Structure 1
Amino acid sequence: MDSFLIFSILACFILHLFLRRRFSRHRLPLPPGPTNLPVIGALPFIGPTPHSGLTRLARQHAAPIMYLKMGTSGVVVASTPSAARAFLKTLDAQFANRPTVVSATDITYNYQNMVFSNYGNKWKLMRKMASLHLLGAKALAGWAPVRRDEMGRVLKEMCDAAADKKPVVVPELLVCCLANIVGQVTLSKRVFSAQGEESNKYKDMIVELLTGAGLFNIGDFVPALAWLDLQGVQAKLKGIHDRFDAMITKMLDEHSATAKKREGRPDFIDLIMVNRVGEDGETITDTNIKGLIFDLFTAGTDTSSIITEWALTEMIKNPQVLKRAQEEMDEVIGRERRLEESDIPNLPYLQAVVKEAMRLHPSTPLSLPHFSYEECEVNGYYVPKNTRLLVNIWAIGRDPDTWEDPLEFKPERFLSGPTAKIDPLGNYFELIPFGAGRRICAGKLAGMVFVQYFLATLVHSFDWRLPDGEVLNMNEAFGLALPKAVPLKAMATPRLSPSAYA
C-alpha cells in the first residue's frame, strides 16, 4: 500500500510538471507586432519594399523579434543579430524547412531544387554534391582558369568601349560573364558568345524572376485566394519557368550528345550523373538536376553581380575609397600586369570594401523563408507551430546598436575597432549576407570569390566616372534580390600598361 501511494504521488508530480510545461508556454506572450486586420493580417502595413517596411515596424514596436499575420499565415521576423542567432543557431534544426509557397511551385520544379526543398536526405545529398564538386574550396580552385578567361573577355569589351568613348552598363557585362562561368563549369558550355541581345534577354529574365519571387504574393499568405492570382504573380513566374526550362532542357540535350568529348574532363553534371545515388539509397533525379541548374544560373549570377555593382557604385560616390583601394593595388600589384585571385589576400582594404557593400546592400535583403512545424519558445516569447521565419538581413546590417554611423559607407570599420573581426560567412550574426546555420547559402565561398575578384579587377584595371551630365542613382529595386533601381552606367578609362590587357 505504501509503495502504491508513493508511486501515485510520483506519477501525479510528473504529470503536473508535464502539464505545467505544456501549458505554461501557451501563457507566454507572442512577440510584439502590429495589429492584424481580418483575413489580410498586417500585409497593408508592410508597404512596397518589405525589407524596409518590416524594419520600420520592428523599430516602431521595439521588437527585435516581431510576430505578425501575413494574410492567414503566422510570420516571425528577426531584425537584430541576437534575434537571428536565437533562430539560426539555437533553433537551427527546428527552422530548417521551407514553407509551401504557391507562387514558387513551378520555378522550383515543385520544390525539387536545392534552395526550396525541405530539410532531409534528398536535400543533404544535393548539398553534398554541390559542395564537393562545384562550390567547395577545392572545386573553386580547380576552375579558377575559367574565371580568369571570362574576366579577360570582360576587360577586352571594356577597353573597346573606352576606345569608342562609350559608357559600359556594369551589371549587363557581369551577368553575361557569370552565366558563362556557370555554364562552363556545370555543362562545359559558354552560354553567350558575347554580351548582347541574347545575354540581355537572359539578364531581363533573371531580374523578372527575382523581382516576382520576392513580391509578397497574396496567394502565398491567403491560400484560399491563391487560385485567383490577384497580382498575376503566379502566371508571370510560370511563364518565366517555362522559358528557363526550355533553355535548361536544350542545354542538357546538347550536353548528353557531347559526352564523349568530355572523357577524362568531367563537368559538374557528369559528376552528378555518376554519383547520383547516395549511401542511404536516396537518388538525385533528372528533375533534381534541372532544379540544381536553375539554382546555379539564378543564385549564381545576379546576386554576385548585384554586390559588385553596389560596391563599385559606392566607390564612385566616395572617390576617396576608390583612390585608397587603387593605391593599395598599385603598391601590391603594380600596373604592369592584371590582378590575380592570389593577390586578394594581400588587399585588406579591398576586402573591407566588399564586406561594407555586403553590409549596406545585401543582395538578398530578407532571408528565404524558414518554417517550423512545431511550437517553440524564443527569448521569453511563444512562437506557434506552422510559423514562417524571415530574417531581415538588411535591417541587421544597419542595426545602430552594432554599427557606428550605420548608413555611411565606411570600409575602415572592418580594418580596426570592435567590428574588424566580423566576416560575412555566417560565423558572426552581425553580418549574414549569405544567411547562417544549416541552410546557409551553399555558394557562400563562390560568392566571395566572384565579388572580390571581379570588383578588384575592375578597380585595378580602370578609372571610373559617370558620363557627363549623369547623376548617381542610389535607389533600390526590391525583389528576392536587391539590385539598383537604375543600373550603373559609367565611363571606364584603362589605367594599366597596355600589355596587361592582352
Structure 2
Amino acid sequence: TTNKRNLLLPPSPPKLPIIGNLHNIGRYPHRSLKSLAQRFGPLMSLRFGNVPILVVSSADAASEIKKTHDLTFVNRPKCSLFQKLLYDYKDVASAPYGEYRRQMKSICVLNLLSNRRDQSYRGVREEETALAVEKIEKSSSLCSPVNLSELFSATTTNVICRIALGRKYSEDTNKFGKLLNEFTELLGTPDVGDYLPWLAWLSHVNGLHGKAEKVAKELDEFRDGVLEEHMNRHDRHLNDHAGIQGEYQKDFVDILLEIQRENTVGFPLEKISIKALILWAMTELLRHPKIMKKLQNEVRNVSAENSSISVDDLDNMRYLKAVIKETLRLHPPIPLLLPTISTKDVKLKGYDIIQGTQVIINAWAIGRDPASWENPEEFLPDRRICPGILFAIAINELLLANLVHKFDWSLPGGAKEKDLDMTETGGLTIRKKSPLIAVANRCSF
C-alpha cells in the first residue's frame, strides 16, 4: 500500500472533524467550489465526510482525466438516489464499466443519435417551432407579454416527446413536466448518507428517500404505459399489413423495442431537458441589445424573403452558433459533471490521486476561467470559441433563429437590461429561477 506520508496531494482548505469540507459547500455548489478553487488552485483536494474528493476547475486537467486517464476514472461512485431513480445503475450514465455499458452506448450512438436518425426528425422540430411562433404572434397582436419560460418548456417537451415517444402527452403535460423536474432535482440532491453512513437514517426521516421512491414509481408507470402503447401499435401494424411491417415514422421507443425483439439487451428510457439552454440564450440576448441586433441582422439576411427559418438555413448562421456556444460557456446545463471514481492510484499534474477518490469536474468554473477566457464573465459571442464546448442541440438553433427572425424583443414595463434577474435554481441542472417575461413586437421586413 502507498505510504500516505509520502503522498503529494492537491492543495486543500482546512477540514473539520467528522464532516471534512461539507461546511464549505453553500446553496450553489458550483459557485462555492469555484470560489475555493480561486484560493487553492484548479486541482483541489476535499473530504466530504470520510470520502476523498478531487475538484477539477481547469480545462487541461479535465482533458487529462477524460483522455489520458479515462480508464482510471471510468466508473461512477455508488449513490443511493441514483440507485433508486436509475434502475439500480442500469442506465447509460451510471452503469459500471463493462460489456453492458458498451452495448448501451453503442445503441444510443448508432441507433438513436446518428446523423441519419437526427435528420429524420427535422419535420418535428420545424412543426413545433412554427406552433411556438404562432403563440408568440397571438400574444404580440394582443400586446401581451410572453412567458418565454413556459413557452420553451412546452416546446422542448413536445419535441422530445414526439421524437422519443411518438406523440405529445399534452393531456399530461403539467404532470409529466413536474415529474421530470422532480427527477432532475433529485439527481442533483446530495444524500448525506453517501458521505456519512451513520447519518443515512436522516434521508428517511426528512422524506428524501420517500420522495425518490415515489418519483421513480410514477416515472416507471409512465414508461410502462408508453411501452405498452408502442407494442400494441406494432402488433396492429403487423396485422394491418398481413405480417409485413410497412413504413412509418419510428420514434426512439420503436427503435429500442425493435432492438429488443432482435434479442439485444434493453435499457430504461431516459430524457434530459434542453429548455434551460434556450432560456439562458434569450435572457443574455435581452441583456445585450447590440448582440441581439447583430444576430437578428444575420438571421434576417440569411432568410431573405422566407417567412420562417428552416433547418437548411442554420448552416449559414455562424453568429447564431456563436451565441449558442457562448451561452453554453456561461450557463452549462450541468455545471458539475456527474462524479467519477478512481479505480487505482494515479499521478495527475504531479499530484497523487489515491484509489477511491471521487472526481468532480466543475464545468461552470472552467467556462469562466480567466486563464482560458478574456473577460470571462461577459457574454461575448464574437470571441473565439473552443470547439470542445459545442454539442449539437438542433432545436435550440431552430427555435432561437425563428424568435429573433420574426420579432423584436424588449422587457415589459420599461424595465432595463440590468434589471433582469439572473438567479439560478439548483439540482443536477441549473435553470433560471424566475420566469423570463418579454414583449414581442412583430418585425416588418
TM over 0.5: yes
Q: Deviations over 1:175-224 (max 9, x none)?
A: 2222222222233222226xxxx423333333333223212321222233
- Secondary structure of the 1:30 match is coil
1:192 alignment counterpart: 170
- Secondary structure of the 2:341 match is strand
Q: Give the Cα–Cα distance (whole angstroms) in 1 for the partners of residues 437 and 150 of structure 2.
A: 10
Q: Give the Cα–Cα distance (whole angstroms) in 1 for the partners of residues 4 and 165 of structure 2.
A: 52
Residues 262-341 of structure 1: matches in 2 within 5 Å? Answer: 263-265=246-248, 266-276=250-260, 283-285=264-266, 288=267, 291=268, 293=269, 295-296=270-271, 299=272, 301=273, 304-334=274-304, 336-341=306-311
Q: Deviations over 1:265-321 (max 9, x none)?
A: 23322222232389xx8x424xx2xx2x2x22xx1x2xx211111011010010001
Aligned length: 432
Residues 138-153 of structure 1: matches in 2 within 5 Å? Answer: 138-153=116-131
Q: Give the Cα–Cα distance (whole angstroms) in 1 for the partners of residues 423 and 341 of structure 2.
A: 31
The structural deviation recorded for 1:75 is 1.2
Give the conservation status (yes or no) of the 8 Å contact 1:179–1:191.
no
Give the conservation status (yes or no) of the 8 Å contact 1:306–1:483.
yes
Q: Give the Cα–Cα distance (whole angstroms) in 2 for the partners of residues 468 and 55 of structure 1.
A: 36
Give the partner amino acid of 1:29.
L
Give the conservation status (yes or no) of the 8 Å contact 1:172–1:200.
no
Match of 1:257 among 226, 229, 232: 232
> CA 1:155–1:387 in structure 2 vs 1: closer, same or farther (change >3 Å)?
same
1:210 alignment counterpart: 184
> CA 1:202–1:272 in structure 2 vs 1: closer, same or farther (change >3 Å)?
closer
Mapped pair 1:454 → 2:399: yes
Give the partner amino acid of 1:357.
T
- Secondary structure of the 1:100 match is coil
Mapped pair 1:100 → 2:78: yes
2:424 alignment counterpart: 476
- Secondary structure of the 2:347 match is strand
Residues 52-451 of structure 1: matches in 2 within 5 Å? Answer: 52-61=31-40, 63-192=41-170, 198-229=172-203, 231-259=206-234, 260-261=236-237, 263-265=246-248, 266-276=250-260, 283-285=264-266, 288=267, 291=268, 293=269, 295-296=270-271, 299=272, 301=273, 304-334=274-304, 336-414=306-384, 420=385, 422-423=386-387, 428=388, 431=389, 444-445=391-392, 447=393, 449-451=394-396
Specify every segment of 5 or more residues in structure 2 that has no aligned partner in the other structure, as ranges.
238-244
For the aligned residues, what is the CA RMSD? Answer: 2.2
> CA 1:385–1:106 in structure 2 vs 1: closer, same or farther (change >3 Å)?
same
> CA 1:241–1:168 in structure 2 vs 1: closer, same or farther (change >3 Å)?
farther
Give the conservation status (yes or no) of the 8 Å contact 1:58–1:64.
yes
TM-score (norm 1): 0.81
Q: Give the Cα–Cα distance (whole angstroms) in 2 for the partners of residues 220 and 74 of structure 1.
A: 12
1:50 alignment counterpart: 29
Give the conservation status (yes or no) of the 8 Å contact 1:350–1:452.
yes
Give the partner amino acid of 2:429.
A
Q: Give the Cα–Cα distance (whole angstroms) in 2 for the partners of residues 460 and 121 of structure 1.
A: 47
2:14 alignment counterpart: 35
- Secondary structure of the 1:146 match is helix
Q: Give the Cα–Cα distance (whole angstroms) in 2 for the partners of residues 240 and 100 of structure 1.
A: 19
> CA 1:25–1:38 in structure 2 vs 1: closer, same or farther (change >3 Å)?
closer
TM-score (norm 2): 0.91
Q: Give the Cα–Cα distance (whole angstroms) in 1 for the partners of residues 22 and 439 of structure 2.
A: 42
Q: Deviations over 1:439-479 (max 9, x none)?
A: xxxxx43x2x1222221122112221122165411111122
Q: Give the Cα–Cα distance (whole angstroms) in 2 for the partners of residues 493 and 469 of structure 1.
A: 14
Specify every segment of 5 or more residues in structure 1 that has no aligned partner in the other structure, as ranges.
1-21, 415-419, 434-443, 498-502
Give the conservation status (yes or no) of the 8 Å contact 1:359–1:397.
yes
Q: Give the Cα–Cα distance (whole angstroms) in 1 for the partners of residues 135 and 425 of structure 2.
A: 27
Give the conservation status (yes or no) of the 8 Å contact 1:337–1:496.
no
Give the conservation status (yes or no) of the 8 Å contact 1:102–1:226.
no
Deviates more, 1:488-497 or 1:382-391: 488-497
The structural deviation recorded for 1:141 is 0.9
The structural deviation recorded for 1:322 is 0.5
Identity of aligned residues (%): 31
Give the partner amino acid of 1:37.
L
Give the conservation status (yes or no) of the 8 Å contact 1:277–1:284.
no
